[in-house]
Amino acid sequence: MSHGNEHNHVTPFSTYMNVFLALVVLTILTVVFHVLHLGALAAPIAFIIATTKAYFVMAYFMHLKHDSAINKGIFATAFFFVALLFVICALDIATRIKVISTL
């Protein structure tokens, strides 16, 4: 049933190929940064790369880029709560008391 206000967007194949290449490059960057052993910067860089890859997948392969605002809001809310979960976990780990074994 058509409501008359639906907008079907056709994404060109070249866009999918560009997104695929971007995902491949970001995956290679993930491996390169892992091999470099960046210490304290390793986790933030990995999260930034993973978030970028997730955006590309959701925007283009799940077609959220051309979807309604309500669906974009639902996914943004999910991302907010995942970020909140990461922050709470990081605070938990950062505030733990280091136990020194007496053995």
Structure confidence at residue 14 (pLDDT)? 93
Per-residue pLDDT of the chain (103 residues; tens, 9 = 90+): 455 555 677 888 999 999 999 999 999 999 999 999 888 888 889 989 998 999 899 888 888 888 888 988 998 898 899 889 989 988 888 888 777 777 7
What is the phi/psi pair of residue 42, to 5°?
-60, -50
Q: Which tokens is 61 given?
A: 């392969």
Is the CB of residue 63 less than 8 Å from the CB of residue 9? yes
Domain ranges for the chain: 13-94
* CA pair distance 82, 68, nearest whole angstrom: 22
